[in-house]
Chains A and B, each alone.
Chain A
Amino acid sequence: MTTLTAAPYARDHLPTLDRCDTVAEVATRQQGTTATASPDYLRLESLAKRFGETQVFSQIDAEIAKGEFVTLLGPSGCGKSTLLRAIAGLNTLDEGRIMVGGEEITSLPPQQRGVGMVFQHYALFPNMRVTDNVAFGLRMQKVPQEERGRRVDEVLRLVELREHADKFPHQLSGGQCQRVALARALVVEPRILLMDEPLSALDARIRRHLRQQLRDIQKTLGLTTLFVTHDQEEALMMSDRIFLMHDGRILQQGDAEALYTRPRSHQAAGFMGHYNVLSGEQAHALLGTVSRAARVALRPEAIYLQPVSEASPGGEVPTHAGPGCRGVIRRRQLLGNIVRYAVECAGIELSVDALNRGSRHLLAEESEVLVFVDLDEVQELEE
C-alpha cells in the first residue's frame, strides 16, 4: 500500500479514510512513506521567466520531498505567484525543468500534470453546487458515478462541509468557499498541491482557524504542498521549510527557526520580523566589537532595556550582553503582548521589543535607559 509508483494518480497519494481505521493510523503510514521517499519528489531546475523586459524570476532551484510543506515567502511582486503558476502549467517558462517523481512535466498542459491548485479568490464554479464543484475533476477523469459520489462525500467530510453539499458558492462564507476549493483540489488526488495565498482574502479569525485545519489535512494526507504567502507569521507557523523570495530569486531557505533567527542577507533580515540592520561602523559604536561583516542584524527581542536609575543589570539581561550603552526612548507602541520601543542609542535608532508585563514595567517616552544587546544573537550579514 505504501509503495511508491510512478503512475500519475496512484491511490497512495490520498489514502481514503474508509480504508483506514483512524486518522492517526493514516498519519503514521504517511510518515513512513515520507521517510522512504526520495528527498527530491518535486525538483525545480534553474527555472527562469521574463515578461518582456522584466525578469520575473531566475535561477530557481529547489528540491522538495514527498509530503513536505514548503512555503514560498516574499513581498508582493517578488515572482512567487508567477513561479507557482508556472509549476501548475498556467504560465510558460523561458528556461529550466520541472520534475515530479522523476518524470518531467515542464511542457505538459496543466490538465495532464496531476497538480492541484487552490486560488486566493477560491475560483469556485458559480453555476454549480458544492458537490458538483468538488466532483468536477472526477467527471473530467470519467470516474463512474458511484465512486464519484463516494469520493466527494469523503473529501467533504475531511473539510467538514458535508452539511453544505447542496449549496451554491454564493451561499457560503469565504472560509467555507476556500474549504470547498481545497476539497475540489484534493479529490482528484494530485501529486502536488499548490496554494496561491489561499488565506489572504479571509478575515483574521477564520484565517487562523483555517491555517491549522489546512496544516492538519496536509499532514494527514502526506501531501506534497507548495504554499505561497506574503505573511511571515503564516509561513513560520505552517511550513516544514520556507523559501524566502526577493526580486525573482530565492534569497534563503530553511526551516522556520533558521530563517527567523539566522537571516543571511539584509533583504532577508528586512523581511523577517522587525530586524534592526546596522552598518559595520554602527555596530562597532553600539557593541564595541569589531566585525568584518559590512552589516549586522539585531532582533528587537534580543535587546534589553534597563532604566538608568536601577543600579545593577536586571535578572533578564543575559550574561553575554555587552557593557550596555546609554540611550533615550523616543517612542513607545503597545502591540498587545509586546511593547515596541524606538530607542536612540549611540546615534542609532533601534527597535526594541519587550514583553508587556503590565504598566508598572512600562518605560516612559524620553526616559533614559541602558541598552544591552545579547551578543550571541547578533547576526552578521553577507555583503
Chain B
Amino acid sequence: MSQNADLTLSRPKAPALPTLRLPRPSIHALVVGGVFTLLALPLVATLGYALATSWGATLLPDGLTLKWFLELWSTPRFQLAFARSMLVTLGALVLSLVLVVPVAFLAHTRYPRLDAWMNGLVLVPFAVPPVVSSVGLLQLYAGGPLPLVGSPWILIFTYVTIALPFVYRAVANSLRTIDVRSLMDAAQLLGATPFRAFFLVILPNIRIGVQVAVFLSFSFLVGEFVFANMLVGTRFETLQVYLNNMRGASGHFTSALVITLFLFTLLLTWLGNRQSGHAIAKDANA
C-alpha cells in the first residue's frame, strides 16, 4: 500500500526529469572542452614553467616562484623592448584606422566599386611571404625620397599593411550592419553637418566591430617577428626580437616573457570590451 502511494506521488514529478539529464556530458560539451584543452595546454605548460623554480626530470615542477617574472619586469632591456613594441603596434593601428575608416565609409556610401578593389588590395601583403617583401621594403626605403631603414617608421608602415585586412573587413562589415545612408540623411536633416553626423551617429555604431579588429591586430602585431627582425633587428629591439635574442638564456625567463605578453593582451582586450560597454551607456546618457 505504501509502495503504491510512493508510486503515485512520484509520477507527477516525471516531467521534471529532462532537467536532470543536463549534467551528462553531451557531444557538444566534449567538442568544446576538447578544443579548449588543446588551445590552453601549451599556455598552461608555459605558465607552469615560468612559475617553476626548476622543472627537469620530474613530472611536476620542484617548487613555485615568482622570481622569473620579477626578474624580467625589472630588466631595463625588457622594459625598453616592451615600450618599443607598444609604440610600433599602437602607431600602426592608429594610422591604419585613420586611413581605413574614411575609405571604408566612402566605399560603402559613394563608390561601391571601391569595395571590390579594396578587398583585393588588402590581401596583397599576405600573398607575398614576409621574407620576400621585407627585402623589397628594405630596398624601397634604403634610399630615395624616404630613407626609413633602421627607424621605427619602416616597421610602423609595414605593420599598417598587415593590419589592413583585419581593420578594413571589420569596418566594412560593421558598416553593412547599419543603414548608413538613412542614418546620415536623418542626422543631416536634423541639422548635423556630414562630418558631425559621421562622428555622432556612424562611428558609435561601428565602434564594437572596429574594436574587435583592433585587438585582433594588436595581438597579431605584438607577436610579429620576421618583419621586426629583418627590417630593424637589433637597432630597434621589439619584444619578439628581444625574445629571440634571449633564447640562449633561461627557459623560465623566456616563458615568463611569453606569459607576460599574453596577460597584457588579455588585460587590454578585457578593458576594451568593458570600455565599449560603458561608452555606449555614457553616449546615450549624454
Contacts and interface: CB of A to CB of B under 8 A. Distances in A.
B283 interface: yes
Contact of A125 (B187, B189, B191, B193): B187
Interface of A: 85, 88-90, 109-111, 113, 115-117, 119, 121, 123-129, 132, 136-137, 140-141, 168, 181, 184-185, 188
Contacts of A88: 185, 189
20 contacts: A89-B189, A90-B189, A110-B189, A111-B189, A117-B186, A121-B182, A123-B179, A125-B200, A125-B205, A126-B205, A127-B201, A127-B204, A128-B284, A136-B190, A137-B190, A140-B192, A168-B284, A185-B190, A188-B190, A188-B191
Contact of B283 (A119, A128, A181): A128
Contacts, number: 74
B103 to A, nearest CB: 22
Interface string B97-123: 000000000000000000000000000
Contact of B191 (A90, A117, A137): A137
B286 interface: yes
The 7 closest A-B pairs by CB, nearest first: A140-B191, A137-B190, A123-B182, A123-B186, A127-B204, A110-B188, A129-B284
A115 B189 contact: yes
Contacts of B131: none
Interface in B158-204: 178-179, 182-183, 185-193, 196, 200-201, 204
B191 to A, nearest CB: 3
Among B190, B192, B200, B286, residue most surrounded by chain A Cβ atoms (within 10 Å): B190
Contact of A111 (B179, B188, B286): B188
B284 A117 contact: no
B280 interface: yes
A90 B201 CA distance: 17
A90 B190 CA distance: 12
A189 to B, nearest CB: 12
Contacts of B283: 127-128
Among B178, B186, B187, B280, residue most surrounded by chain A Cβ atoms (within 10 Å): B186
Main SS of the interface on chain B? helix
Interface in B60-80: none
Interface in B268-285: 280, 283-285
Contacts of A90: 185, 188-189
A123 B185 contact: yes
A117 B192 contact: no
A132 B187 contact: no
Contacts of B204: 127
Nearest to A115: B189
B196 A140 contact: yes
Interface string B134-156: 00000000000000000000000
B179 A125 contact: no
Contacts of A141: 191
Given A126-B178, A126-B205, A128-B283, A117 B185 contact: yes
A124 B190 CA distance: 12
Given A88-B189, A181-B186, 7 more contacts: A89-B189, A111-B189, A111-B190, A119-B186, A121-B179, A123-B182, A125-B186
B9 to A, nearest CB: 45
A125 B183 contact: yes
A123 B188 contact: no
Contacts of B280: 127
A159 B39 CA distance: 54
Contact of A132 (B183, B193, B284): B284
Contacts of A113: 189
A110 B286 contact: no
A97 B186 CA distance: 23
Contact of B286 (A116, A124, A132, A137): A132
